[in-house]
Structure 1
Amino acid sequence: MIKQIKRLDSVITGCIAGDEKCKEWLYRYYYGYLKAVARRYIDNASDLEELVNDSFVKIFKHLNRFGITDDPIVLSRSFKGWAAKITSRTAIDFLRVDKNYFRVEELTDDSVDAEPVSITDKMNVQDILALLNSLPAMQKVIFNMYEIEGYSHEEIAESLQIPYANSRVYLARAKKTLRTLYQKNINSISYAS
Structure 2
Amino acid sequence: MNRDDRMMTDTSVFEGQQVMICEKLDGENTTWYKDYMHARSLDSDAHPSRNWVKNLWAQHGYEIPEGWRVCGENMYAKHAIHYTNEKGNALQTYFYMFSIWNEKNICLSWDETEEWAELLGITHVPVFYKGIWDMNYIQELNKRMESNPDTIEGYVVRLSREYHYSEFRNVCGKYVRKNHVQNNHGHWSTQKIIKNELKNFESYANH
- TM-score, normalization by structure 1: 0.24
Larger relative helix fraction: 1
Structure label with greater radius of gyration: 1
Larger relative strand fraction: 2
Q: Give the number of the structure with larger relative contact order, counting CA–CA contacts within 8 Å between residues 6 or more apart.
A: 2
- TM-score, normalization by structure 2: 0.23
